[in-house]
């Protein structure tokens, strides 16, 4: 069996649009009847559920933003009574109250199916031993992968994140073949294994499903090389269900489960929808959820969509790698910069580890940034001057590619915090 759900994964564009249209009509009616929040918004726009006929009418619907979720915390956007909920996840959020992710039994089953589709596409099979090192708990990563693995019927080892030495020991003892965690935690595991003298490439480990944070193609190759695996990608967000929104296939293309989460790309300043291929803010409408089906939710993730004839046979729309979140975008000397662009450049240098952070502060009225990174352990024996010269070469390359002048400092070995989950790339020292 090549796909988990061939019917949906390989649907013709026309059938998919019909399916999406029917689901959109149903969802709009569902929230209109149950949520004063959406009824008010739709009434204000003069839109009745009956006006929504095809998926193209989505443009008539209001947007939903993170603050709407905060203002309606914890269950103001939940369309079913508490007794119908079987699970509540939450995203940590940087400030204040978390974002809640409630599920009915039906929602949970759909989530499990979306995750099974993803893991199946990436080669997970019933005979795999899968080590799940995503955070277990309110974070959707741990349990999302758990549900997908359970559907497929592989053997799951729910380690959760952290205790890296033990992760490596279990990998050896249990014969782990698949690893689920964030890409930066995968690198932390790879580094620790190297320090312990364990060659991960000689273990049965053969694939990974990594996500929950931006990472570049260069980073993927580095992980593949150091672990001797295929490094696949998972994309998702608590507000839509968690992981399972998008997944990379055998051709490393990230397909979106567009029969569940309908994607649009909009211009973040005008909110006008943008055509395929153009970069903008990713917006999702839940088409099948019951507990919290959000309409036109602005993710703040910056990317573009494509229709591709993919060799995996899936017709599901393809999403380019997430460049970053609009919140993480820095404006340096008038140029928009995302940490992932800096990552790509650092990774061009074979002398460097994929370990870096960006320190932002103010120079007068302007933002200034500094890149701090670590070099490969063997570089530290070559003296201070060699390291300074390496920093200068990276700075020159950043200048040539991104067009900004920023200092690059090579920090001492071990100075950058090792990630066990989502890495913190930007250290903001700006005072308001």
Interface ranges with ligand DLL (CB under 6 A):
91, 134, 140-141, 211-214, 233-238, 242-243, 299, 301, 322, 325
Smallest distance from ligand DLL to CB 337, Å: 17
Helices (H) and strands (E) in the chain, counts: 11, 21
Residue closer to ligand DLL by CB (options 58, 241) is: 241
Smallest distance from ligand DLL to CB 302, Å: 9
Residue 424's nearest CA partner among 349, 342, 358 is 358
Residue closer to ligand DLL by CB (options 144, 391) is: 144
- Tell me the longest C-alpha to C-alpha distance in the chain: 71
Smallest distance from ligand DLL to CB 127, Å: 23
Cis peptide before 328 (omega within 30 of 0): no
Rounded Cα distance, 427 and 420, in Å? 17
Q: Is 61 left (phi over 0), alpha (psi -120 to 50) or beta?
A: beta
Smallest distance from ligand DLL to CB 402, Å: 19
Residue closer to ligand DLL by CB (options 172, 341) is: 341
Residue closer to ligand DLL by CB (options 301, 372) is: 301
Residue closer to ligand DLL by CB (options 322, 369) is: 322
Give the residue nearest to ligand DLL (CB): 211
Residue closer to ligand DLL by CB (options 25, 321) is: 321
Smallest distance from ligand DLL to CB 299, Å: 5
Rounded Cα distance, 248 and 308, in Å? 13
Rounded Cα distance, 307 and 318, in Å? 6
Residue closer to ligand DLL by CB (options 90, 394) is: 90
Residue closer to ligand DLL by CB (options 122, 238) is: 238
Residue 422's nearest CA partner among 141, 149, 143, 70 is 141
Cα Rg of the chain (Å, integer): 22
**Residues sharing a CB contact under 8 Å with residue 207, sequence separation 6 or more, in sequence order:** 122, 123, 124, 177, 178, 179, 229, 230, 231, 232
Q: Is 74 left (phi over 0), alpha (psi -120 to 50) or beta?
A: alpha
Burial class (CB in 10 A: 0-12, 13-18, 19+), 366: exposed
Smallest distance from ligand DLL to CB 245, Å: 8
**Residues sharing a CB contact under 8 Å with residue 301, sequence separation 6 or more, in sequence order:** 237, 281, 282, 322, 324, 325, 326
Residue closer to ligand DLL by CB (options 107, 233) is: 233
Smallest distance from ligand DLL to CB 237, Å: 4
Smallest distance from ligand DLL to CB 363, Å: 28
Q: How does DSSP classify residue 29?
A: H
Smallest distance from ligand DLL to CB 242, Å: 5
- Residue whose token pair is 């295929």: 230
């Amino acid at each position: 069996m090549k796909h988990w759900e061939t019917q949906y994964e390989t649907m013709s564009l026309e059938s998919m649009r019909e399916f999406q249209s029917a689901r959109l009509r149903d969802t709009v009616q569902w929230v209109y009847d149950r949520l004063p929040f959406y009824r008010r918004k739709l009434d204000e726009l003069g839109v009745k559920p009956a006006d929504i006929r095809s998926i193209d009418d989505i443009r008539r619907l209001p947007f939903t933003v993170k603050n709407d979720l905060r203002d309606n915390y914890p269950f103001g956007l939940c369309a079913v009574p508490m007794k119908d909920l079987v699970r509540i996840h939450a995203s940590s959020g940087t400030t204040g109250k978390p974002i809640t992710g409630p599920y009915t039994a039906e929602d949970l089953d759909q989530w499990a199916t979306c995750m099974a589709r993803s893991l199946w596409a990436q080669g997970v099979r019933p005979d795999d031993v899968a080590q799940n090192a995503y955070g277990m708990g309110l974070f959707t990563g741990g349990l999302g992968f758990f549900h997908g693995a359970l559907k497929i019927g592989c053997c799951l080892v729910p380690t959760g994140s952290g205790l890296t030495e033990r992760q490596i020991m279990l990998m050896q003892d249990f014969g782990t073949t698949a690893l689920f965690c964030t890409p930066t935690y995968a690198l932390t595991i790879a580094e620790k294994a190297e320090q312990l003298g364990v060659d991960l490439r000689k273990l049965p480990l053969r694939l990974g499903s990594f996500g929950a944070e931006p990472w570049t193609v260069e980073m993927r190759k580095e992980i593949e090389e150091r672990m001797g695996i295929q490094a696949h990608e998972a994309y998702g967000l608590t507000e839509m269900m968690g992981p399972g929104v998008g997944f990379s296939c055998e051709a490393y293309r990230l397909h979106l489960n567009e029969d569940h989460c309908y994607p649009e790309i909009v211009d973040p300043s005008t909110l006008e929808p943008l055509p395929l291929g153009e970069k903008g803010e990713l917006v999702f409408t839940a088409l099948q959820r019951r507990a919290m089906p959000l309409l036109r939710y602005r993710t703040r993730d910056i990317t573009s969509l494509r229709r591709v004839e993919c060799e995996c046979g899936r017709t599901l729309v393809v999403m380019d790698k997430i460049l970053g979140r609009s919140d993480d975008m820095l404006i340096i000397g008038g140029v928009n910069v995302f940490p992932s662009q800096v990552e790509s450049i650092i990774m061009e240098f074979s002398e460097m580890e994929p370990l870096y952070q960006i320190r932002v502060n103010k120079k007068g009225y302007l933002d200034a940034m500094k890149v701090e990174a670590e070099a490969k352990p063997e570089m530290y024996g070559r003296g201070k001057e060699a390291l300074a010269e390496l920093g200068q070469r990276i700075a020159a390359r950043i200048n040539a590619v991104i067009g900004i002048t920023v200092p690059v400092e090579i920090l001492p070995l071990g100075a950058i915090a090792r990630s066990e989950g989502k890495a913190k790339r930007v250290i903001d020292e700006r005072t308001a």
